[in-house]
Each structure stands twice: as structure tokens, then as C-alpha cells.
Amino acid sequence: MLSKLNHIGIAVNSLEEALPFYRDRLGMSLTKIEVVEAQRVRVAFLSLGSETIELIEGTDEQSPIRKFIAKRGEGIHHLCFQVPNLEESLRELKRKRVRLIDEVPRQGAEGARVAFLHPASCHGVLIELKEIKG
């Protein structure tokens, strides 16, 4: 059902503060910075070979990322896996009694359709599913 790991999401206070570390010190390449209004975040995608890291900054006080950082500090926020058919995956997971945060897909970065699984069902890890056809 999952095809591969798509990216690892890291919650940061500020992209401007975090980018010099990931880009300049670790040498990852910045591929894109994007605001995702619906999720109240600004994200930066960095790549290293075929692997991708997403740095996520909250854009206002209501942002789930700001709340996450207030509670737990900066750090790994979620793992994202690719799926070829998101509705089918959500149906299947629901049938297997996995707790879903999103019963229906929502709009994620890069215009992709995404949905989150509840950490309570994933041994403490927030999991994002991102639809990538084929």
C-alpha cells in the first residue's frame, strides 16, 4: 500500500534560522520554499540524493507546528510515505482500525493530496500519506 518514504518533516522555529544548518553545514540542497495556507505553515524542502527533508515553520499562533514546538520543542514532526491511491489507502487503514486524523484527503505542499494518521495508532509517530500516482 505504501510505495516509499517521501520525506521526513522537522518542526523548526524559523526557516531562516534552520536553513543555514541543513543547507550550509550539512550541504543539503534547498529545492523549494512554499507557504501552505490551509495548514498555517511555511515549508522548505531540502534534498540529498533521492532523500527529502521538509523543514516546517508555523505562520501564526494557531499553527499546529507552533503548538507542537511549544509542547515538545523543535524536532522530528512526522514521516511521510507515498501512496498511489490515497482514498483507497485511507479506506483500507480505517478497515484495519487505524485512527485517522483526516478521513478525507486535504491539500498539502506542492498541491499534493495528503492525509495524516493519528500518532496514537502509529506508536507515537505522526504519519503523513501523500498521493503520488504511479
The letter for the amino acid at 22 is Y
**Which positions touch Zn ion (CB under 5 A)?**
9, 54, 80, 128
**Closest residue to Zn ion in the complex (CB):** 9
Dump the DSSP string for 64-108.
Answer: HHHHHHHHH-SEEEEEEEEES-HHHHHHHHHHTTPPBS-SS-EE-
Q: Considering the complex, state which of residue 9 and residue 58 has its C-beta at the smaller distance from Zn ion.
A: 9
Min CB(40)–Zn ion separation in Å = 14
Min CB(62)–Zn ion separation in Å = 19
User: Which cell numbers in the block locate residue 72?
Assistant: 515538545
Q: Considering the complex, state which of residue 44 and residue 80 has its C-beta at the smaller distance from Zn ion.
A: 80
Q: Considering the complex, state which of residue 54 and residue 93 has its C-beta at the smaller distance from Zn ion.
A: 54
Cβ-contact 96, 90 below 8 angstroms: no
3-state secondary structure of 39: helix
Q: Considering the complex, state which of residue 4 and residue 95 has its C-beta at the smaller distance from Zn ion.
A: 4
Min CB(3)–Zn ion separation in Å = 16
What phi-psi label fits residue 17: left (phi over 0), alpha (psi between -120 and 50 degrees) or beta? alpha
Min CB(79)–Zn ion separation in Å = 8
